[in-house]
Structure 1
Amino acid sequence: MRAPTLTGFVPLWRPAAVRPLQSHAHHTSFLRCRGFSSYFVSPRELDEALKQNAPTAISTAPKVIPICAAWFMPNDPEKRTGRQAFLKKRIPTARFFDIDEIKDQESEWPHMLPTCDAFADAMSKLGVRREDEVVIYDTEELGLFSAPRVAWTMRVFGHPKVHVLNNFRVWVQEGYPVETGPPQVPNITKYAVPSYNTDMVVKFAEMKTIGYDHGKEGSEDIQILDARSKGRWEGTEPEPRAGIRSGHMPGSTSVPFQELLDPDTKTLLPGEELRKVFESKQLDPQTPFITTCGTGVTAAIIEAALKEADFGTEHDRRLYDGSWT
């Protein structure tokens, strides 16, 4: 195991001599050798992929780009913010995706999905192109928390290659490089305005109907999985946002996201173990799922876990944006 290292500021783009354009054959070979085999990737896989990135900013070859999705609950006792965590310690060349800013600015609810135009603008400012492969990661403190939400958001807007790091805590513990301080601003790209995959999202009107119809004869059979703590689901613990009562939607099943993570590393459990958790909840992989939580962040952990465990089919897994709030 290599000794952990914490460097000072590392530029996102290192100046280098201009190199001749690579042949199409070489470019194709480059792409073939870098693809990740699964949705979740290990620190070693990401480190090896980053080493294969083109060394110059002028290269047109697709890149692997780490995206920091750091976010803390509004009632965090230490008053930490995602941006502070990003500046404190991050993967070199990483960019910061702020879910409290890249959102529907006209909604009164926190970090709802942005518009297609807003998403494209955010990707452009982050220096991401559609052909780039993104790996989303969380904070060292939390392990796995908000990264699945950002990864899910990118999939909703059709970004072709999206993965989640499992996870930054392990990245740091195993001594992979980190940087600190203000990052260099990436080159702005032209990210085309995408379409919106409505099949991945549940909105309030539909969710209200599902709730009212629960238990009625002829109502659609849907499994609602709630990622909040058991106490919040039961109504015995307060919600982290003022004025929001606790409790749960009719017919929902409590699946606290912590049960899907390793208790020490906070990495997502292996697929076989995740299946056992879902089976212990008496869930049926043949019945559609809707994942929910407080606002739609940790619900994405359940969605990612279902995906990793291959529990149910892709088109039968949706997330309720806005969730309990």
Structure 2
Amino acid sequence: MAGSVRVLVSTAWLARQLVAKNSTVKVIDASFNMPAWNRDALQEYEASHIPTATFFDVDKIKDETSDLPHMLPPANVFQEAMRDRGIYNNDHVVIYDCSDFGIFSAPRLWWMFRMFGHDRVSVLNGGFTAWTKEERPVESAPLKLPVEPRSDYVVQDEKTELVRTRQDVLDNLAHKKEHVLDARSRESWNTPIHSHTNIHTHTHLHMPTLMHCAAVCARFNGTAPEPRPGLSSGHVPGSTCLPFTDFLADKRMKERGELETIFKVADTDLQSRRCIASCGSGVSACVIAMAAHIVTAPLDPEGGALNHDQVMPIYDGAWTEWASSGCPIEKHQDAQ
């Protein structure tokens, strides 16, 4: 069984691990913000983060040969990033982000670890929002890389089958062997999100989240603009709209039974039909991949979903690549 660690861990569990003797847990802040949010993830990390956490910037640790945003980095780049952060192959890595959603970009790094063969990796359920709401300890410090000593981390088993290319998705239009699930939000993110976790007082300010918007897939249907200027909205023909926020409740991942219902309502049988997750640029798609992983996971004695070998592939170029490359785009009005 891959990793034999839970997909999600609680804040209480992590707090115990941080003070446990001989713990192999390493914590990473993998926060990523959309440009319109007017937030600086590194600045927020340095102002306040979970004790011992390091920082991983998905927008900078990427494939530098691609013009697309935060594409999956080559194995050697990921390996060096882990060495710089003192991560070892046998460490249990716990990832969180500081988004107002509770879970947003952390699953992207979870998926990257799985893709590079590191199975002992979990996401903190509720993220930094839950951690600070519970008034758990935080620390402030500038990011210093590389740490001393650097680790000897080695990417040992790169699973390229977890990545889909534009050509893969184009080919799928004909053979329809895989079902494309689109995680893009229901509405555009062109306007800034003004209220978020206050990094100095650790209090959470109210924000009208996308979960409270009208239940339409406006970007998917082509009736709302994309957050990236000049990019057409719409969707890959034959794909299904499954906004990543549908999988969250109270800024945490929904319970396994609720996740299973979401996939069933979307006519997606995870046991019999292969799926691909996509989104705007490859980040929120990983929320779908993680939710699917939980639904199909074996359970530990306490009912926690464990990491296993079946991980949903991600279309890494996502909608940003698809809509800017002359690929077929489908649009339709929402059903009334």
**TM-score (normalizing by structure 1):** 0.80
Q: Is the 8 A contact 1:64 1:133 kept in 2?
A: yes
Provide closer, same or farther for how the CA distance between residues 248 and 37 of structure 1 changes in structure 2, counting only shifts above 3 A. same
1:274 aligns with 2:235: no
Tell me how far 1:278 sits from its aligned partner.
1.1
Task: Summarize the alignment of residues 1-325 of structure 1 with structure 2, pairs less than 5 Å apart.
Answer: 37-54=5-22, 63-76=24-37, 79-139=38-98, 141-167=100-126, 168-183=128-143, 185=145, 186-187=147-148, 188-211=150-173, 213=174, 219-228=175-184, 229=186, 230-262=217-249, 265-285=250-270, 286-310=272-296, 315=310, 317-325=312-320
Tell me, in whole angstroms, the C-alpha distance in 1 between the residues paired with 2:72 and 2:107: 14
Q: RMSD value over aligned CA atoms?
A: 2.0
Tell me, in whole angstroms, the C-alpha distance in 2 between the residues paired with 1:68 and 1:243: 31
1:58 corresponding residue in structure 2: none
SS of residue paired to 2:261: helix
Provide closer, same or farther for how the CA distance between residues 118 and 308 of structure 1 changes in structure 2, counting only shifts above 3 A. same
Tell me, in whole angstroms, the C-alpha distance in 2 between the residues paired with 1:81 and 1:210: 38
Tell me, in whole angstroms, the C-alpha distance in 1 between the residues paired with 2:116 and 2:143: 26
SS of residue paired to 2:313: strand
SS of residue paired to 2:28: strand
Q: Is the 8 A contact 1:152 1:300 kept in 2?
A: yes
Q: Is the 8 A contact 1:143 1:266 kept in 2?
A: yes
Higher relative contact order (CA 8 A, sep 6+): 2
* Matching residue's letter, 2:26: I
Tell me how far 1:88 sits from its aligned partner.
2.4
SS of residue paired to 2:218: helix
**Segments ≥4 residues shifted beyond 4 Å:** 311-314
Provide closer, same or farther for how the CA distance between residues 311 and 255 of structure 1 changes in structure 2, counting only shifts above 3 A. farther
Q: Is the 8 A contact 2:11 2:130 kept in 1?
A: yes
- Any gaps of 5 or more consecutive residues in structure 1? 1-34, 55-61, 214-218
* Matching residue's letter, 1:246: S
SS of residue paired to 2:273: coil
Tell me how far 1:141 sits from its aligned partner.
3.0
Map Cα deviations across residues 260-310 of structure 1 (whole Å, 9 max, x no partner).
100xx3111010111111111121221001000001000000000011122
Q: Is the 8 A contact 1:226 1:255 kept in 2?
A: yes
* Matching residue's letter, 2:129: R
Q: Is the 8 A contact 2:89 2:118 kept in 1?
A: yes
Tell me how far 1:246 sits from its aligned partner.
0.5
Q: Is the 8 A contact 1:63 1:132 kept in 2?
A: yes
Map Cα deviations across residues 156-197 of structure 1 (whole Å, 9 max, x no partner).
011131100002211111121111232455222122244420
Provide closer, same or farther for how the CA distance between residues 201 and 174 of structure 1 changes in structure 2, counting only shifts above 3 A. same
SS of residue paired to 1:246: coil
Tell me, in whole angstroms, the C-alpha distance in 2 between the residues paired with 1:311 and 1:43: 21
* Matching residue's letter, 2:33: F
SS of residue paired to 2:35: coil
* Matching residue's letter, 1:270: E
* Matching residue's letter, 2:232: R
Tell me, in whole angstroms, the C-alpha distance in 1 between the residues paired with 2:225 and 2:312: 28
Higher-Rg member (1/2): 1
How many pairs are equivalent? 274
